[in-house]
Amino acid sequence: MKLTVLGCSGGIGSGRHTTSLLVDDDVLIDAGSGITTLDFEQLVAIDHVFLTHAHLDHVLGLPLLLDSVGDMRSAPLVVHALPDVLDVLSKHLFNWQLWPDFREIPSKETPWLRFAPLSLGEAFTLKGRTFRPLPVNHVVPACGIHLAAAAGSLVFSGDTTHSDAFVAALNAIPDLRHLIIETSFENALVEIAQASKHHWPDSLAAELQLLSVRPEVWITHLKPGNESAIMHELREAAPGWGMEALVQGQVIVLG
């Protein structure tokens, strides 16, 4: 199993794309502007999308994906997310005002889009890969994603600040090999980070000290223009972890 980073920036510009991760060739975790890096045939191959939350930088590519290849598919694209997240998409995105409701196109009986609610801790297994939502702490309903395969586990935090429940969930995954976790702001912007419930270097360093597992740590959602400064502060705050910034185009292989 492999995970390809289509987008991992906290914004856009200068080759940056927002969050989207491709699992093998048929599953997306989040659907930010990173999906625009895929060619037409790759878009058609996507059958499932797991969303961490409904903020625009994580879902903006979803309506365009359906508009581009919906008629080329033999089955609906299935979007998995917490019920509250699906409710936001239903009311504010696929609402016939901001965008057509593809759950009714070309008909309710044969739609291009289907919603599949997932509860925290509930696992969904697809071709030997298990996707499980984990609790996090953001300003809107949100989750992390635990991706498990025979060769080990990977966790993507989505957007979050410190969460005791998330730490406990990580410590309960003995085969955790990779942790992709956000750090959006420098320490000097701690008030903004706290208000928007994102990590800053000192908060992530404190969270890492609570882990009993020792995965490779990859940093995502860095705000554009602040990447180097954030990574410098992280390495000072948490020496010994050897953390690296996630990079667009990077491939992480499990097995």
pLDDT tens for each residue of 149-174: 999 999 999 999 999 999 999 999 99
Cβ–Cβ < 8 Å for 157, 180: yes
pLDDT on residue 14 = 87
Catalytic residues: 57
- Where do the domains of the chain lie? 2-253
**CATH architecture of the domain covering 2-253:** 4-Layer Sandwich (3.60)
34-43 pLDDT per residue, tens: 999 999 999 9
Where are the strands (E) in 51-194, listed by range? 77-81, 113-117, 124-126, 129-135, 143-149, 152-156, 176-182
DSSP character at residue 252 = E
CA distances for 50 relative to 23, 78, 123, 164, angstroms: 10, 9, 12, 23
- Which pair of structure tokens corresponds to residue 159? 């957007």
Verdict on whether the full-model pTM lies above 0.95: yes
Q: What is the model's pLDDT at position 189?
A: 97
Give the mean pLDDT of the chain: 97
Q: In what order do the strands lie in the sheet with 48-50?
A: 113-117, 77-81, 48-50, 27-29, 20-23, 2-7, 251-253
